[in-house]
Amino acid sequence: MKIGIDLGGTKIEGILLGKTGEEIKRYRVATPSADGYSAIMQAILRMVNHLESIAGMACTVGVGTPGSVAENSQQLRNSNTTCLNNKPFKADLETILKRECRIENDANCFTLSEAIDGAGQNSNVVFGVIIGTGVGGGISVNQSLLTGRHHITGEWGHNVLFQNGAACYCGQQGCVETYLSGPGMIRNYTHHNSQQFNNARHLLECADSGDTKAIAVRSEYYRNFASALAQVINIIDPDIIVLGGGLSNYKPLYTEAVKHLPEYVFTDCFSTPICRNKHGDSSGVRGAAWLW
């Protein structure tokens, strides 16, 4: 059987999947923050021990977490659980769990989960997209992840959409993420207007109720979404694109934004399905289990 662990900044979720992928047990605990790294390792150990006692047998363990394992140093980088950064997370995990572990970022876990038994299960090439507080992605072919030479496959969030555009934390300007993330949408609004929004959902609700300034920002967002996604489609031409993350819950994205795609994609008969995910917030933990 398979154990998946989704390690996030606020919670650690574990799942036990049976031989055919059926969910046997799932639970979550708060991520220990005060005690940092070793407390997180202990929490994962307790979770694996508990799930394995339910399974009654040795299980494989996959872990999904923001950030990635650097190919040269084998240390974790870019995690928003900052106490994990620059630590040999994979090696330490394997020592404490006494087995080989597989680790992938949350966008890759999302993609794998949707490719295996989610919205993309009948498609060969699946591009999984996360649009929320950040923008990420992953590519699955024949239900297996592409990872790439530098382990950056699918990282379209840091493709440059606008030269000299807004500054991104990665050091570039005008990255896709700075325009298509929820905070990016809000920044675009406050750039032109004085009203403040706490989150993109509130801004989109204002657009839905007819606020002309919010509608203008939303229209710009739709075009940016289509233009950015077309760059990926022109290269990998996926059989399906599955959206996840907070903004994927906004239904007009699948009609109003997608409507612009044929303007940007290099074909006269664009037909790629752009679908909402099936497993929602569970995709990360399910995908982690599916790493084996």
User: Which lies closer to Zn ion via its Cβ, residue 178 or residue 272?
Assistant: 178
Among 40, 107, 139, 175, binds Zn ion (CB under 5 A): 175
CB of 158 to Zn ion, least distance (A): 4
CB of 134 to Zn ion, least distance (A): 10
Phi-psi region of 111 (alpha: psi -120 to 50; beta: other; left: phi over 0): alpha
| Stretch touching Zn ion by CB under 5 A, among 21-29, 81-89, 115-123, 166-174 | 166-174
Please answer whether residues 281 and 26 qualify as being in contact, where contact means their C-beta atoms are separated by less than 8 angstroms: no
CB of 161 to Zn ion, least distance (A): 10
Please answer whether residues 135 and 155 qualify as being in contact, where contact means their C-beta atoms are separated by less than 8 angstroms: no
User: Which lies closer to Zn ion via its Cβ, residue 16 or residue 161?
Assistant: 161
Pairing of strands 2-7, 60-64: parallel
| Stretch touching Zn ion by CB under 5 A, among 19-27, 92-100, 150-158, 260-268 | 150-158
CB of 160 to Zn ion, least distance (A): 8
Rounded to 5°, the CA angle 248-249-254 comes to 65
* Size of interface with Zn ion, in residues (CB under 5 A): 5
The answer to whether residue 158 forms part of the interface with Zn ion (CB under 5 A) is: yes
User: Which lies closer to Zn ion via its Cβ, residue 168 or residue 242?
Assistant: 168
> What residues contact residue 60 under an 8 Å CB cut-off, 6+ apart?
1, 2, 3, 99, 102, 289, 291, 292
The answer to whether residue 168 forms part of the interface with Zn ion (CB under 5 A) is: yes
Pairing of strands 102-104, 60-64: parallel
CB of 169 to Zn ion, least distance (A): 7
CA distance 292 to 58: 13
The 3-state DSSP class for residue 27 equals strand
| Stretch touching Zn ion by CB under 5 A, among 99-107, 158-166, 198-206, 251-259 | 158-166
Q: What does the binding site for Zn ion look like in residue numbers (CB under 5 A)?
A: 158, 168, 170, 172, 175
